[in-house]
């Protein structure tokens, strides 16, 4: 199956519009999963079943540490179908308070030589009211652990961002297993400015208040940050997470950098602007993750995303402090069996390292700072 997909991708898929292929393949997957028994059978065959892969985090028991990152299923159209491919959890979105069409097409371009994707989708989604209605009809049915990723509506002024995020949080809280505040996409003008602590603090506080108003004060709240933050800003976000009692940080979103690519200058220019995902993010995303782990230790759950292509990539993230990992571009290039290969490879690596559980390996490669003062510039003193 893997060889067949690689032949299909090389000979056909790579030459077709990426967004069209995404819609067609996702639609076909949902149709297949709608056949009685298909999703359940596929889930049993492809899902993580090795006992050493079970992860306890964010108040939930995850069957495996690999989840699908936000961006694939923006409107919660098929989380069960996607989970049947073998993911341990699914993150939908990014969802905004108001529906919006996103940026003009083409807005999703592959850089095949780099196993990367450039996207400038612009948070195209049906809006949090409709997504909440769709999730409401899903209630009562068995399904995967579901993360909900929320962002700012493009037309909402930056000084009204708190209310925009709070609206989506209030609507979607009843249906989420955890919620993510996305302030790190490069495709909404001004959004990344909200990563500064001064701007981020009131947004996160407003979302927390909205969760309480929705009757979900305990719902885990996370923030997703960009790989392009300078190190001092990464530290500031880490300190803010501790100060506000956030449950987690997702590191990282896509990058606006084009450094180190093997694609030709003409190919890169033709791909245009937007966020770059995939293998080129590997090193910087790992650096940000390590820095966060040094700063927060195990007091905040870290989820790693960006450049995870192989089981070894996922294993490096776990040893650097990630309790969970996510992928998207890796599946585009690896095919539908990619989640199963990552989980199976992780299980082998866990056993080879002599651990009883993947959780035993979290942060083993990182020395963390003293927990007495998250914002103090102290030297590392203990080993995780």
172: enclosing H helix or E strand = helix 161-172
Instruction: Decide: 97 and 156 in contact? Cβ < 8 Å.
Output: yes
For 174, residues 6+ apart whose C-beta sits below 8 A from its C-beta are 132, 135, 136, 214, 215, 216
Strand partners, 149: 180
The tokens for 328 are 């998207």
Q: With the C-alpha atoms ordered 193, 195, 196, 200, is the resulting torsion angle positive or negative?
A: positive
Of 27, 11, 52, 76, nearest in space to 318 by CA: 52
Peptide bond into 297 cis (omega under 30): no
The tokens for 268 are 């890169």
**Cβ atoms within 10 Å of 178's Cβ, excluding its own:** 23
Instruction: Decide: 359 and 328 in contact? Cβ < 8 Å.
Output: no
Using DSSP's 3-state secondary structure scheme, residue 110 falls into strand
For 36, residues 6+ apart whose C-beta sits below 8 A from its C-beta are none
Strand partners, 36: none
Instruction: Decide: 322 and 361 in contact? Cβ < 8 Å.
Output: no
Alpha helices in 35-140 (DSSP H): 38-46, 79-83, 128-138
Residue 168 annotated as catalytic:
no
Query: Catalytic: which of 128, 168, 184, 185?
Result: 185
Angle of helix 161-172 versus helix 128-138 axis, rounded to 10: 20
Say if residue 61 is exposed, middle or buried (CB neighbours under 10 Å; 0-12, 13-18, 19+). exposed
Catalytic residues: 185
């Amino acid at each position: 199956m893997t060889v067949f997909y690689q032949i299909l991708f090389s000979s056909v898929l790579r030459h077709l519009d990426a967004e069209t292929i995404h819609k067609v393949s996702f639609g076909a997957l949902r149709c297949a999963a709608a056949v009685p028994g298909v999703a359940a059978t596929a889930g049993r065959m492809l899902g993580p079943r090795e006992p050493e892969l079970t992860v306890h985090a964010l108040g939930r028991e995850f069957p495996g540490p690999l989840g699908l990152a936000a961006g694939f299923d923006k409107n919660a159209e098929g989380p069960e179908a996607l989970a049947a491919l073998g993911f341990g959890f699914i993150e939908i979105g990014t969802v905004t308070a108001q529906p919006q069409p996103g940026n003009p097409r083409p807005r999703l371009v592959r850089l095949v030589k780099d196993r990367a994707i450039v996207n400038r989708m612009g948070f195209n989604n049906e809006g949090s009211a409709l997504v909440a209605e769709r999730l409401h009809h899903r209630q009562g049915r068995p399904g995967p652990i579901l993360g909900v990723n929320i962002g700012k509506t493009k037309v909402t002024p930056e000084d009204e961002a708190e209310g925009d995020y709070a609206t989506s949080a209030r609507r979607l809280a009843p249906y989420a297993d955890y919620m993510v505040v996305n302030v790190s996409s490069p495709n909404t003008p001004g959004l990344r400015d909200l990563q500064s602590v001064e701007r981020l603090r009131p947004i996160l506080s407003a979302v927390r208040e909205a969760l309480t108003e929705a009757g979900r004060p305990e719902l885990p709240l996370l923030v997703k940050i960009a790989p392009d933050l300078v190190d001092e800003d990464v530290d500031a976000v880490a300190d803010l997470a501790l100060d506000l009692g956030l449950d987690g940080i997702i590191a990282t979103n896509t990058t606006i950098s084009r450094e180190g690519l093997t694609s030709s200058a003409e190919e890169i220019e033709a791909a245009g602007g937007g966020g770059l995902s995939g293998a080129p993010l590997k090193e910087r995303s790992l650096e940000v993750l390590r820095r966060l782990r040094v700063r927060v230790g195990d007091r905040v759950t870290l989820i790693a995303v960006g450049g995870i292509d192989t089981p070894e990539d996922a294993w490096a993230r776990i040893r650097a402090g990630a309790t969970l990992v996510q992928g998207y571009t890796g599946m585009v290039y690896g095919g539908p069996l990619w989640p199963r290969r990552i989980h199976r490879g992780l299980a082998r690596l866990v056993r080879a390292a002599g651990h009883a559980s993947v959780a035993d390996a979290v942060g083993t490669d990182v020395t963390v700072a003293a927990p007495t003062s998250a914002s103090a510039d102290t030297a590392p003193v203990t080993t995780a």
